[in-house]
Structure 1
Amino acid sequence: MDFWPEFLASSSGREFVAGGFGGIAGIISGYPLDTLRIRLQNSKNGSAFTILRQMVSREGPASLYRGMGAPLASVTFQNAMVFQTYAVLSRAFDSSVSAKDPPSYKGVALGGTGTGAIQSLLISPVELTKVRLQLQNAGQMTETAKGPLMLAKNIWRKEGLRGIYRGLGVTVMRDGPSHGLYFWTYEYMREQLHPGCRKSGEESLNTMLIAGGLAGVTSWISCYPFDVVKTRLQAQTPSSIKYKGIIDCFKKSVNEEGYGVLWRGLGTTVARAFLVNGAIFSAYEISLRLLFNNGNIQMQETL
């Protein structure tokens, strides 16, 4: 099927539905590991296994999903925006490619970078709320709230717009380049694993899972130090300001805990990234094909 022309010509909202399914699949499959990542990044000691065991024993298994409401509530729009913006920008940055052909790798990288920067405006407040909820019962937050909406209202009331967007600068620095690498890796790997699939759109499920997983791992490794700084900046409240900004957070974190602090929790994050992004791309691609083909998926058998 002519996947890309059909994708770009569609205006019926099918991309939003498919993007929503992809995002939901990613959040549900990887949220416990994301909670563990946040705890590791904002702590000075303890292995992933130790923190996980303490969380489950002291706070119960449900603590692994604390704060999931915030990203889950916005995930449909967020992922729809990401995939739709990427589709438009990947062609806008290299208009020499025919609409009948998939975007060039140059267009993919530049389009992904632009997409990451734009989506930071939406995701920054959501991640701020999520981070504070995930740290709430770890004894690392002085203020508690029963849910994401209540916490967001409290932040708005006490800290205003600046408080809601705390960490926006480092979020843009994290998401811009990493999204460029993310989409480039996915497109490159799916073509390597299943030659010709970028044009036919008929790759196997295994190709989607592996290419999506590798895209997630690559992008996270490239931006992980920025994510550590983002977590620490967003965990701050007006009554507990320790870092004056991005550079100050880098310097103080390294001086106090060594360069290893910039990679703390990477192992957990990489495992989560492979699982989550394999699920996101698979759910997105399959949903889109179902919607475009009225329920008939045209994929080859799994490898």
Structure 2
Amino acid sequence: MAATTQQITIPLDHEMPVVELADRRTVQNHGLAAAKDFAFGSVAGIAGKFIEYPFDTVKVRLQAQPDNLPLRYQGPIDCFRQSLHAGGFRGLYRGISPPLVGAAIENSCLFFSYRVAQDVFRATLFPGVQELPFGALLVAAAASGSFTSLLLTPVELIKCKMQVPVEGIKPPGPLKLIAQVFRHHGIAGFWRGQMGTLIRETGGSAAWFGSYECVSAYFRSRNPLAPLAPTHGLHDSPHEPPPLPVHQQMLAGAAAGVSYNFIFFPADTIKSRIQTEDLSAIRGASQRTFWTVGKSLWQQQGIAGLYRGCGITVVRSAPSSAFIFAIYEGLRHYFK
């Protein structure tokens, strides 16, 4: 009887592990990119908040002046003067702890979710495309702002209440305010003003990133030594252009800050009014909505009321946003 020879095929050990290793490296790269977005966005946001906060305090106090009463402040300069007289320069930084947390959350989430939205577009609507169309970048930016607004509203609520304390009452600290909000309105109370934050962040983020991309593309187009793609979406890739000079990054960032704050400023005004209302006076069905507050403000003060504090906001947003983008870009390329 002839012997049967059994052929044994030994798999090449390196084939499957190579695929698994590539997948593992992809996951690690995405995880590292996400960690960088959170870390660099947080650092940039905190630095920008220190620069802009005194101006933001004046802006909120101008926005929060009550209806049906004479204006307490005649303008930003008068508000600065009265605020300095009442609490000194330190008073302009009152309540900065929640905003520092908010700035870290806002900017880290904005840069992170902007990247994630671009990755989703590349995987679905634009497979194999390295440079997304400008319209896709705008949608990605709007999506990042919409997501960030959910995390930002509670922080802004406490910040605004600390910036506009009730007269005759010792200003409470952030922990006491958190307890008051929860006692009067429960968990849902921390998202009072969410509609205003959503509109501001969704549209504002599209304007913020969109302006930065446009101005950056203009600077690249003016550089004859680097005829690069018009947009890159702040996204690491083999085809990503080298960073612009710092002064051009800051100019693009300044344009982004101005666009973000000016276009959707009325939504921010309405949000600030809602979030600075007396907690004990807005229980249950008596709470005013975003639309009722906006309608009341329009009827009483017109367009000027919706844009009260806009000038000082735009002025402070230019250097703040310039530093945010310059710091973020610098860290991202240094630790690439």
Please indicate the TM-score interval, normalised by the length of the shorter structure: 0.7 to 0.9
Q: Which residue of 2 aligns with 1:201?
A: 242
Residue 71 of structure 1: how far off its partner (Å): 1.9
Please tell me whether residue 47 in structure 1 is matched to residue 75 in structure 2: yes
Measure the CA separation in 2 of the matches of 1:107 and 1:213. 22
Match of 1:158, SS state, is helix
Supply the AA of the counterpart residue of 2:181.
Answer: I
Match among 171, 174, 189 for residue 197 of structure 2 = 171
1:267/1:75 Cα in 2 relative to 1: closer, same or farther (>3 Å)? Answer: closer
CA RMSD of aligned residues (A): 2.2
Query: Which has the larger displacement, 49-58 or 83-92?
Result: 83-92
Unaligned runs of 5+ in 2: 1-25, 66-70, 222-227, 233-239
Match among 313, 320, 323 for residue 279 of structure 1 = 323
Residue 244 of structure 1: how far off its partner (Å): 1.7
Q: Which residue of 2 aligns with 1:297?
A: none
Please tell me whether residue 11 in structure 1 is matched to residue 31 in structure 2: yes
Please tell me whether residue 144 in structure 1 is matched to residue 171 in structure 2: yes
Residue 47 of structure 1: how far off its partner (Å): 1.1
Q: Does the 8 A contact of 1:97 with 1:104 survive in 2? A: no
Measure the CA separation in 2 of the matches of 1:209 and 1:244. 40
Please tell me whether residue 96 in structure 1 is matched to residue 100 in structure 2: no
| Map 1:99-114 → 2, pairs under 5 A | 101-114=130-143
| Map 1:68-79 → 2, pairs under 5 A | 68-79=96-107
Residue 162 of structure 1: how far off its partner (Å): 2.3
Residue 9 of structure 1: how far off its partner (Å): 3.4
Q: Which residue of 2 aligns with 1:261?
A: 305
Please tell me whether residue 116 in structure 1 is matched to residue 116 in structure 2: no
- Matched positions, count: 282
Residue 243 of structure 1: how far off its partner (Å): 6.3
Match among 17, 25, 30 for residue 47 of structure 2 = 25
Residue 187 of structure 1: how far off its partner (Å): 0.7
Q: Which residue of 2 aligns with 1:300?
A: none
Residue 235 of structure 1: how far off its partner (Å): 0.8
Normalising to structure 1: TM-score of the pair? 0.86
Match among 94, 97, 112 for residue 66 of structure 1 = 94
Normalising to structure 2: TM-score of the pair? 0.78
Supply the AA of the counterpart residue of 1:154.
Answer: Q
Cα deviation, 1:215-271, whole Å, max 9, x if unaligned, reads: 111121110011110000111134334862112111211222232101111110101
Structure number with greater Rg is: 2
Query: Which has the larger displacement, 40-49 or 89-98?
Result: 89-98
